[in-house]
Amino acid sequence: GRSRRVTRAEPRDADALQAFLAKRGKTRVLGEDFSTDRLARRFADWPEFSLQSFWVAKDRRDNVVGCMA
């Protein structure tokens, strides 16, 4: 079956999370463009919003398959 685990994002998840958001943004109507440094700018511009604001779901191979903040 499908094995998933959900954890709070850690620094090592930053690149995978950004890639996941970029991929999802391209497929959603009115999706955001996270293909650049937009996520880093959000962290810098929005008080109390950081990588640790995210929970990430990962598959058995440690790929990010979902997230929420």
Question: Which positions ≥6 away from 11 have C-beta within 8 Å?
Answer: 51
**pTM for the whole structure:** 0.81
Please give the chain's pLDDT, 69 residues, in tens: 678 999 999 999 999 999 999 888 777 777 777 776 888 888 999 999 999 999 999 999 999 999 999
**Three-class secondary structure of residue 58 per DSSP:** strand
What is the dihedral sign for C-alpha 31, 35, 36, 41?
Answer: positive
The pLDDT of residue 27: 76
The pLDDT of residue 1: 61
The pLDDT of residue 49: 94
